[in-house]
Structures are given as structure tokens and as C-alpha cells.
Amino acid sequence: MSDVEAAAFAGRFACDFQSFDEDVPWRRAEVLREVLVDAQACTWGWSGAGRQRADSPLPGRLYRRSDTVVFVEVVVRATPYARAGAVAESDYPENAAERGGLVEPAGTIGRSCAPPESDAAWTAGEPRWVRMTVPVTRAPEDGRLVVDPGLLSGATGEQAGDR
């Protein structure tokens, strides 16, 4: 994999990892399960409470362990939300027909778990920049790009940041 390919994938992952919504808790797990080497890691990094939206990924320094393992330092802007009022179950339709017939944009490569920027049930707080190191590799079964959190035990975030 190229550095550019790893950086783009790491940016996509970082935004989804830092995004969550307690009103639709299953969405984050479903999205992360598709890009993690170990599907059980899809619940890591979030307690199940609250709402946050991450965007504007900025991949930075890279540490290449091998031809198929790259650690990418990524910074994302994360906006926390506070509950503004009660939420009705019908506010979260699960299919496009219920959402007013939204059509998937051309060039879509995967789903995101980032909640909508605006929602009557939530009030946006002050955004913060969040840094994380994303270990990108290839899935052994089909060669697609995946994130393997287990690789972090062999190289710390400081090692990835020293490049």
C-alpha cells in the first residue's frame, strides 16, 4: 500500500472512530466492524453515552513498519454535543425511503457513523482537535485495507510520531 492510500484510509477511520451518537448506538459498531481486522474492537473508545461528530481529518506523520503495515498520525476536529431535549424514536429512520428518499452520492466507498451536524435534540459544543495513531494494514483474507489496534502494542504512538 502507498503512503497516500494508508493516510486517506486512516483519516476516514479516525473520523468514524471519534464519532458516535447514543441515540443510534449500533451505527458506530456497524461502520467500524467493516474496517477493523478484529470486529470485536468495534466498541472500543466509546462508553455508549453522549454524542460527538468528528470531521476534517488531517493525516500527518507516518511510520512504516513493513510493506503492509503503516502507522498514521491523524488529527480530526471533534465536536461534542449536549442533550437539548427529548428525542422521539421516529427521529431516526433506518432506511432512505423514511429519510425523504435520499440517494447515495456517486463515488461512495462506505458508510460513516458521524451523526448529522444539526439535530433538534442536541446542541453543539466547542470543537476540539483530537490526535490519534491509526495502524493500517491489509486483511489477510481479501487484501482490503483494515485497522488493527493489536499492532499498537508493538509500536507506540511516540514511535509513529517520530517520523
List the domains of the chain with CATH numbers.
3-161 (3.10.450.540)
Contact (CB, 8 A) for 58 and 14: no
State residue 98's pLDDT score: 42
Packing angle between helix 25-33 and helix 3-17, nearest 10 degrees? 160
Q: Measure CA 72 to chain center.
A: 14
Please give the pLDDT value at position 115: 82
How far apart CA 35 and CA 67 sit, in angstroms, is 19
Q: Is the pTM of this model over 0.85?
A: no
d(C-alpha 156, C-alpha 152), whole Å: 6
Give the whole-angstrom CA distance, residue 95 versus residue 145. 27
Q: How high is the pLDDT of residue 39? A: 80
d(CA 70, CA 2): 9
Stretches where the chain sits below pLDDT 50 are 90, 92-93, 95-102, 155-163
